[in-house]
Structure 1
Amino acid sequence: MNFAPKNRVQQSVAAGAVLVMLGVSGCSFTSEQSTTTQYAASDGIVKDLGPVLLRNLLIVGSEDESAGRLVGTVFNTSDQPVDLSIRAGGAETSITIEGDGEFRFEEETADDTTLEGLEDVPGSLVDVDFEVDGEQATFQVPVLDGTLAEYRDFVPGGFTPRPSEPAATEEAAEGE
């Protein structure tokens, strides 16, 4: 018995259909599916350090100040309280997170959430040292300013918008 196609045209059509299907699906065939990649879908970092989970952690500051306000939430996954130390560029703060608790920086007092002496400007990434229960790690944390409305209340010293270029142009035109 012979099961081969009866003519070369059928073989060519079948081979062409396979090549077209590979060409159309080639990108997804060889690359990783993007929905399987875990990433921080936020402005801040998402990291874990021992029993502490750092979620959407970032620093809000301004170019004319030397302080940055921490924003985000940290969770303690252990049933015992833990102390979390945070250091960046000579600035330092420490907080205690209750067992199975959370600490929201934007809801707490300025003493716990402000890093005094921080010299990095908005738009940069700052190396921030975290320590909990003797375990240490350094993560790069973004520094933002009050350009985004949701962070304006957290700018140390208050948010002052930059003059827009059209307004500056109008003022220059009025002065002539």
Structure 2
Amino acid sequence: MATVVVAAGILLGTSGCNLFAPQATTIQYDASDGVSGNLGDLAIRNAMLITDDGENANLVVHVVNGGDEDIDLLVQYEGVDEKVDKTVTIDANSTTEIGLPGGELLAVESLNASAGSLFPVFFQYGDLTGIELLVPVLDGTLAEYSTLVPTPAPVPTVVPTEPAGETPSPTATPEATTAP
């Protein structure tokens, strides 16, 4: 009988931690610098804004569509002067990378937020109530983000040309003479 009591005490003592403490593997968290959220069939993952000047930014986010239909995702943010709406099509049963090389690009202009701050971005589609995420604003200081900083669009340069002048007319070629 004493052996059974000791065995039960050891079993309860070694497994009792799971009765009162939550398992760390069941706690969901954002494993990177971005933030995440769920919206219907969409899983918005690791959203962040990369900026160099606090004025223009690149929205970097992975959007997973677990549904069987393509979804037109509305991305909305408050610019300096007005609300800005942009739409991105998320293909059915796939992951769409926004802001990464080779993926969709979504430029955020008139940001007015410096690196280190949080910027509200609203995501919505269909009849669902959307979600607002406080997206962290980062810069290109870290090597992994340095290639994601938005670059200004190239400005075409005008090369002045010389004004068209009169084309010189050919002169007559002197005739050959024979030597005496």
Partner of 2:117: 124
Aligned pair 1:51/2:44, yes or no?
no
Q: How many residues align?
A: 138
Distance 1:30 1:60, change over 3 A: same
Q: Secondary structure at the match of 2:45?
A: strand
Residue 40 (structure 1) aligned with residue 34 (structure 2): no
Structure 1 residue identity aligned to 2:146: R
* TM-score, L = length of structure 1: 0.66
Gaps spanning 5+ residues in structure 1: where?
1-17, 159-176
Distance 1:153 1:92 in 2: 25
CA shift for structure 1 position 29 = 7.6
Deviation of 1:128 (Å): 0.9
Whole-Å separation in 2 of the counterparts to 1:67 and 1:134: 30
Alpha-carbon distance between aligned partners in 2 of 1:82 and 1:36, rounded to the nearest angstrom: 29
Quick check: which has more Rg, 1 or 2? 2
Aligned twin of 1:139: 133
Per the alignment, residue 108 of structure 1 pairs with 103
Q: Which residue of 2 aligns with 1:95?
A: 88
Pair 1:155–1:78, CA change in 2 (3 A)? same
Distance in 2 between residues matched to 1:59 and 1:128, nearest whole Å:
10
Percent identity (aligned): 34
More helix by share: 1
Q: Secondary structure at the match of 2:112?
A: coil
- The TM-score normalised by the length of structure 2 is 0.65
Q: What are the ranges of 5 or more consecutive residues in structure 2 without an aligned counterpart?
A: 1-8, 153-180
**Alignment-derived partner of residue 154 in structure 1:** 148
Pair 1:82-2:87 in alignment: no
Query: Which whole-Å CA distance do the structure 2 matches of 1:97 and 1:33 have between them?
Result: 34
* Superposition RMSD in Å: 2.8
String of CA shifts for 1:123-170, please: whole Å, max 9, x gaps: 111111111113211111111111111111111237xxxxxxxxxxxx
